[in-house]
Amino acid sequence: MSGEGEFGYIRRRLAPLASGYTGAFNLTDDAAVLAVPVGCELVVTSDTLIEGVHFLPGDPPETVAVKALRVSLSDLAAMGAEPHAAMLSISWPRDGSTDLRDRFTDGLAEELSVRAVPLIGGDTTVTPGPWTITGTLFGSLPAGSAVRRAGARAGDHVYVTGTIGDAGLGLLSLQGEAGLGAAVERYRIPPVRTALASHLRGRANAMIDISDGLAADAGHLSTVSQVALDVTLADLPLSGTARDWVARQDDPDIARARLAGYGDDYELLFCAPADCHHAIQRAARETGIPITRIGQVKKGEGVRLLDGSGAPVQIDSAGFTHF
């Protein structure tokens, strides 16, 4: 990394992002002191993004910064937590330009400002490998109110926020598939569902954010909750781009199952008792974040993606198929 050194960069560009958080000591110290809001507890999550793995070399540095924060904000929202503070460990590529660093930092500053999240620490290094960023995000919530992956009960409704499969279609577009350009933004910039956290605490019995894909993450929730999840493919919320894409495929339910297999949605999937349905609809209206009921929790184990006849669509070696 050319230009000013590590310390100059931290002092000039990062330290201002710590202002207002007493325990961050303007990023001049060995560690930060965490302030826990009265009556609250802190939650913490960490995610690593690697160029060429979790984002593409052509992605704008500004959106890489936003993604680095949002993948963890999504984890916090899935616990029912509001963001509290961020740490960032950045390994700059050895041949990276100051333009890369400046544009990344611009995106970082903008997103931290919009979310009112102070930067309280981290590390900067230079790597001979690809650009690598580990974000560690702290969230706060009323003590004892964390929503877990465990806790779903037979009879609960299964809900999902936003739309499913767009990030995967965006990646396909960047890899050359036609007609999917509108989805690129969703691959680069995950949505933020933080506004729902306070509405879902005390209502959702279990929640997870969708990073590995709806089917896989529903599977994680079902395993930890020790229940089965039935998801009706026709009920998956789809963007216009995704609906058009489904219409171009041979079999709409197999196509929807593929969308449920794509990663990087960063939507919330949660299970809540049926008597919370009106409160959940109200939360969607108040936050402007769409919430769609897509299935039902049952006794048993595993996830079933159901086609129009109520039969499960499954994955075999050739991909998804009707069983």
Amino acid occupying residue 41: E
> Any contact of residue 99 with a copy of itself (CB under 8 A)?
no
The least distance separating a copy of itself from the CB of residue 59, rounded to whole angstroms, comes to 16
How far apart are the C-alpha atoms of 168 and 48, rounded to whole Å?
Answer: 19
Among 8, 12, 19, 36, binds a copy of itself (CB under 8 A): 36
Cβ atoms of residues 295 and 229 within 8 Å: yes
The least distance separating a copy of itself from the CB of residue 20, rounded to whole angstroms, comes to 17
Nearest CA to 174 among 184, 160, 164?
A: 184
Binding residues for substrate: 54, 264, 320
Cβ atoms of residues 236 and 294 within 8 Å: yes
The least distance separating a copy of itself from the CB of residue 133, rounded to whole angstroms, comes to 10
How far apart are the C-alpha atoms of 206 and 147, rounded to whole Å?
Answer: 6
Nearest CA to 265 among 283, 234, 290?
A: 290
Cα Rg, the chain, nearest whole Å:
21
Helix axes 240-247, 252-259, angle to 10 degrees: 140
Reduced 3-state DSSP string for 110-125 = HHHHHHCCCEEEEEEE
Q: Which of residues 148-187 bind a copy of itself (CB under 8 A)?
A: 148-150
> Any contact of residue 128 with a copy of itself (CB under 8 A)?
yes
How far apart are the C-alpha atoms of 32 and 256, rounded to whole Å?
Answer: 46
> Any contact of residue 209 with a copy of itself (CB under 8 A)?
yes
Number of residues written out for the chain: 323
Contacts of 146 (CB under 8 A, 6+ apart): 41, 43, 79, 80, 81
> Any contact of residue 122 with a copy of itself (CB under 8 A)?
yes
The least distance separating a copy of itself from the CB of residue 37, rounded to whole angstroms, comes to 12
> Any contact of residue 134 with a copy of itself (CB under 8 A)?
yes
Between 18 and 242, CB nearer to a copy of itself: 18
> Any contact of residue 222 with a copy of itself (CB under 8 A)?
no
The least distance separating a copy of itself from the CB of residue 22, rounded to whole angstroms, comes to 11
The least distance separating a copy of itself from the CB of residue 139, rounded to whole angstroms, comes to 7
> Any contact of residue 10 with a copy of itself (CB under 8 A)?
no
Contact range with a copy of itself by CB under 8 A, out of 32-40, 57-65, 152-160, 271-279? 32-40
70-89 footprint of a copy of itself as x/- string (CB under 8 A) = -----xx-xx-x-----x-x
How far apart are the C-alpha atoms of 124 and 146, rounded to whole Å?
Answer: 32
Backbone dihedral angles phi then psi of residue 290, each to the nearest 5 degrees: -60, 140
> Any contact of residue 205 with a copy of itself (CB under 8 A)?
no
Contact range with a copy of itself by CB under 8 A, out of 175-183, 201-209, 241-249, 273-281? 201-209
How far apart are the C-alpha atoms of 49 and 138, rounded to whole Å?
Answer: 17
Nearest CA to 210 among 257, 283, 270?
A: 270
Among 4, 41, 106, 177, binds a copy of itself (CB under 8 A): 41
Among 123, 185, 286, 301, binds a copy of itself (CB under 8 A): 123
Which residues here bind a copy of itself, judged by CB under 8 A?
Answer: 23, 25, 28-36, 41-48, 50, 52-54, 75-76, 78-79, 81, 87, 89, 91, 120-123, 125-130, 132, 134, 136, 139, 146, 148-150, 207-209, 220, 224
